[in-house]
Amino acid sequence: MSTRTGESLYWTALNKGKRSVAVDLRAPEGRELVAALATAPGSDGGIVVDNNAGRSWLAYESLAERRPDVIQVRIQGHADGRPAVDYTVNPEVGVPGITGPTDVAEPVNHVLPAWDLLTGMTAMTGLLAALHRRDRHGEGALLQIALADVALTSVANLGWLAEADERGADRPRHGNHVYGTFGVDFATSDGHRVMVVALTSRQWDALRAATNTEKVFAALEDALGVDFSLESDRYRLREMIAAVLRPWFVARTLEEVGHQLAAAPVLWSRYRSLHEAVTEFRALGSPPVLVEVEQPGIGAMISARSPLRIAAEYGASAVAPRLGQHTDEVLAQVLGLSDAELGRLHDRGVVVSGSA
Amino acid sequence: MSTRTGESLYWTALNKGKRSVAVDLRAPEGRELVAALATAPGSDGGIVVDNNAGRSWLAYESLAERRPDVIQVRIQGHADGRPAVDYTVNPEVGVPGITGPTDVAEPVNHVLPAWDLLTGMTAMTGLLAALHRRDRHGEGALLQIALADVALTSVANLGWLAEADERGADRPRHGNHVYGTFGVDFATSDGHRVMVVALTSRQWDALRAATNTEKVFAALEDALGVDFSLESDRYRLREMIAAVLRPWFVARTLEEVGHQLAAAPVLWSRYRSLHEAVTEFRALGSPPVLVEVEQPGIGAMISARSPLRIAAEYGASAVAPRLGQHTDEVLAQVLGLSDAELGRLHDRGVVVSGSA
């Protein structure tokens, strides 16, 4: 929520680049308009994404009567129709049990609504695949995707279910250590923190060189009969490796650490707060994937372009519409409604226009 | 890593349903084969996804000389070419600073490689959009997408950068509370834990009814001059609401809690470990999006179908290939190589076949 304006920054950020049509779905005429929009003609028409449950007039069968090759993508909570949101799905798939500090007994919810983001992109992939098929073969499709299924398939796709099955238990909590390899965070002398990862033996070599610990780790390999060029040994002895490296980091400022890690080069990054990311963008204008837009209703607002670059260029930026901002424009363009017809719909309260 | 077999469960899970061709990229002939595969003819050919850096023979310009309408999707760490992985990108966008228990001072990395998953799906969306454009207009495309950009655009798209900008600081850590509304976890008498969310006033009504706290909260609204039908008041007084509700949960078993919440109905879920999810699937065979496959090299393994249902049906399951399992099949099918030509490539060690 924007404390300056009372507008939702979340809503605004999620809806940028869209057109908004405001229709009263309780009115039969309103439903007719939405069904007509969903089944509009043309090769780019006849596509609808919804999270409808129980509205028969928006069911695939109803829409397919109007346009047999309609593509409908329906997003659900659970596949059986039960409601769910990101925050209720995440506990069910076991991620909070392996997230967080090792000394915490309770589950730790991650804050990023990862399942929402991933469900949206998976739905979009399904939509484009269905459109591809329709272009080629003329067939429409009803696609459904449930948030709970996205979460469960993701932990399966990472091998985590198979691993828990074989282990007969969950993996233990690892705190900020990366599972299966060497990677962990270190504090610097000036109160900053960095993340350092050595996935490959080359990255491990660079890390030892940067921290002047080659002889130390060679002696430890001899003494312990291990081989740190192996990811499995780096993982197994991660706590010891971190303990050996820690004094190097804590004796140096972030600037010194960064300079020497980058020269090696070590795979690393610094912990930067959301606010620091904003401050750096304002000071440097980078990275170029971020952009400041003039958002009606809010004013200057940090926003983002698409992360997909086409021919090395980021796309344009966009702002969010007001609710109903494009009501008349869309109904005229897509359904060919006349000014007189639009006027009658407004008079009867079936549609509403919002101003930018 | 499968402790039974030494195979990587992670690799196996990620590569299911793919075909594998093993080619020596140090050999000029090997590079020629890969470039030929990437630019194969036909409306489904000429598509390549890579994470190449610095191989000029796999550059878009080289491929476009062979097939002008080739579609290349390149996945990067940073957009400027610097390497990055999920675990180094996450600290840079500030998520660890707002994740985890409120009494922890250090950043808490989330364990789910959300940026990897999201980058993969966003790349696939870009690929399908480019294919759609090529089908319509005959144009190829070079698309690039950086893990770091996906992470930064995601926190921008959630409104988090704009919020930090307006606040002049990061939002505070909220533990397991949901930001901006009422939602938090509760322990039950038998040591289980549930997540309860009241996003809407209807969900809030159901929660009060299920826990028999209607009069309590009505009295608190009077005493404090607040209105819990407003999300903002439920959010602001979340600690107090949780404290009032906690005794109801801790006096009941998970079964009792679940029964009464479901009847209300409250939006809730139970915390289930990865291993419990596996055990329930083995006992009940549900949810149907999971499947047990016979994975060559590993044996029976819990896997997943696609979460996208087409006409209400999940798709088929799949297993991972062995490295090089489809070398001969693909080179014969796509490039039309003869047995004699394949034999010569094998003899010179340019390609390798793996057996299933």
Q: What is the mean pLDDT of residues A237-241?
A: 98
Q: What's the rounded Cα separation, in Å, for the pair B244 and B265?
A: 19
Mutual angle of helices B147-157 and A274-284, in 10-degree steps: 110
Query: Are the C-beta atoms of A17 and A312 separated by less than 8 Å?
Result: no
| pLDDT per residue as tens digits for the range A312-355 | 999 999 999 999 999 999 999 999 999 999 999 999 999 999 86
In angstroms, the separation between the Cα of residue A219 and the nearest Cα of chain B is 28
Domain residue limits, chain B: 1-38+285-356, 43-158, 182-271
Question: Residue B292: its chain A contacts at CB < 8 A?
Answer: none
Burial grade of B255 (CB within 10 A; 0-12, 13-18, 19 or more)? exposed
Question: Residue A148: its chain B contacts at CB < 8 A?
Answer: 287
Question: Residue B288: its chain A contacts at CB < 8 A?
Answer: 79
Best CATH choice for the domain B182-271 from the list 1.20.58, 3.30.1540, 3.60.21, 1.10.287: 3.30.1540
Task: Locate the chain B residue with the closest alpha carbon to A279.
Answer: B165
Task: Locate the chain B residue with the closest alpha carbon to A2.
Answer: B163
List, in order, residues 6 or more apart from B144 with CB less than 8 Å away.
A308, A309, A312, B73, B74, B75, B76, B79
Q: Tell me the CB-side half-sphere exposure of residue A307, using CA atoms within 13 A.
A: 31
Task: Locate the chain B residue with the closest alpha carbon to A146.
Answer: B307
Question: Residue A107: its chain B contacts at CB < 8 A?
Answer: 176, 185, 193, 271
> In one letter, which amino acid is A247?
P
Residue A355: per-residue pLDDT: 66
Measure CA A282 to chain center. 23
Q: How many CB atoms lie within 10 A of CB B105?
A: 6
Nearest to B92 among A84, A270, A275 (CB): A270
Q: What's the rounded Cα separation, in Å, for the pair A16 and A13?
A: 6
Task: Locate the chain B residue with the closest alpha carbon to A123.
Answer: B308
Active-site annotation holder among A24, A69, A116, A205: A116
pLDDT(A356) > 70: no
B116 assigned to active site: yes
pLDDT(A20) > 60: yes
Tokens 């070398």: give the residue: B327
Task: Write out the H or E segment, with its range, that includes residue A291.
Answer: strand A290-295
Query: Are the C-beta atoms of B83 and A267 separated by less than 8 Å?
Result: yes
Q: Do B167 and A302 touch (CB under 8 A)?
A: no
Active-site annotation holder among B116, B185, B205, B233: B116
Q: What's the rounded Cα separation, in Å, for the pair A113 and A88?
A: 11
In angstroms, the separation between the Cα of residue A247 and the nearest Cα of chain B is 18
In angstroms, the separation between the Cα of residue A277 and the nearest Cα of chain B is 7
Better-predicted residue by pLDDT, A96 or A52: A96
Q: What's the rounded Cα separation, in Å, for the pair A182 and A198?
A: 5
Mutual angle of helices A114-137 and A147-157, in 10-degree steps: 100
Positive or negative, the CA dihedral A173, A179, A181, A183 is negative
Q: Do A9 and B301 touch (CB under 8 A)?
A: no
Q: Tell me the CB-side half-sphere exposure of residue B137, using CA atoms within 13 A.
A: 7
Q: Do B278 and A113 touch (CB under 8 A)?
A: no
Query: Are the C-beta atoms of B323 and B354 separated by less than 8 Å?
Result: yes
Nearest to A150 among B10, B150, B307 (CB): B307
Question: Residue B320: its chain A contacts at CB < 8 A?
Answer: none
Q: Do A92 and B121 touch (CB under 8 A)?
A: no
pTM beyond 0.90: the answer is yes
| pLDDT per residue as tens digits for the range B253-311 | 999 999 999 999 999 999 999 999 999 999 999 999 999 999 999 999 999 999 999 99
Query: Are the C-beta atoms of A272 and B94 separated by less than 8 Å?
Result: yes
Residue B135: per-residue pLDDT: 93
Q: CA distances (Å), B253 to each of A226, A249, B245, in order?
A: 48, 48, 15
C-alpha torsion B175→B176→B178→B179, nearest 10:
10
Question: Residue B128: its chain A contacts at CB < 8 A?
Answer: 125, 128-129, 131-132
Interface A:B, Cβ pairs < 8 A:
413
The reply to whether domains B43-158 and B182-271 share a CATH topology is: no
In angstroms, the separation between the Cα of residue A287 and the nearest Cα of chain B is 8
Q: What's the rounded Cα separation, in Å, for the pair B128 and A121?
A: 12
Nearest to A146 among B112, B194, B307 (CB): B307
Which value does ipTM take for this structure?
0.96
Task: Locate the chain B residue with the closest alpha carbon to A128.
Answer: B128
Q: Do B277 and A99 touch (CB under 8 A)?
A: no
Task: Locate the chain B residue with the closest alpha carbon to A306.
Answer: B153
Question: Residue A202: its chain B contacts at CB < 8 A?
Answer: none
Q: What's the rounded Cα separation, in Å, for the pair A320 and A329?
A: 16
Closest Cα partner for A76 from A33, A115, A40, A114?
Answer: A115
In angstroms, the separation between the Cα of residue B342 and the nearest Cα of chain A is 33
List, in order, residues 6 or more apart from A243 with CB less than 8 Å away.
none
In angstroms, the separation between the Cα of residue A90 and the nearest Cα of chain B is 8
In angstroms, the separation between the Cα of residue A170 and the nearest Cα of chain B is 6
Nearest to B161 among A104, A164, A274 (CB): A274
Q: What's the rounded Cα separation, in Å, for the pair A328 and A20?
A: 10
Retrieve residue A342's tokens. Answer: 């639009």
**Beta-bridge partner residues of A106:** none
Q: How many CB atoms lie within 10 A of CB B198?
A: 24
Residue B245: per-residue pLDDT: 98
Task: Locate the chain A residue with the closest alpha carbon to B194.
Answer: A91
Q: Do A143 and B272 touch (CB under 8 A)?
A: no
Question: Residue B160: its chain A contacts at CB < 8 A?
Answer: 274
Task: Write out the H or E segment, with its range, that includes residue B119.
Answer: helix B114-137
Q: What is the fold, at CATH topology level, of the domain defined by B43-158?
A: Rossmann fold (3.40.50)
Residue A110: per-residue pLDDT: 87
Q: Do A277 and B125 touch (CB under 8 A)?
A: no
In angstroms, the separation between the Cα of residue B13 and the nearest Cα of chain A is 5
Query: Are the C-beta atoms of A332 and A342 separated by less than 8 Å?
Result: yes
Q: Do B305 and A174 touch (CB under 8 A)?
A: no
Closest Cα partner for B108 from B121, B124, B97, B123?
Answer: B97
**Chain B interface, mutation test: which of A271, A272, A282, A303, most B Cβ atoms within 10 Å?**
A271
Residue B355: per-residue pLDDT: 67
**Beta-bridge partner residues of A75:** A145
The full length of chain B comes to 356
| pLDDT per residue as tens digits for the range A296-315 | 999 999 999 999 999 999 99
Residues (pLDDT < 70) of chain B are 1, 355-356
Task: Locate the chain B residue with the closest alpha carbon to A182.
Answer: B87
Q: What's the rounded Cα separation, in Å, for the pair B288 and A144?
A: 14
Question: Residue A94: its chain B contacts at CB < 8 A?
Answer: 272-277
Residue A189: per-residue pLDDT: 98
Q: Do B195 and A109 touch (CB under 8 A)?
A: yes
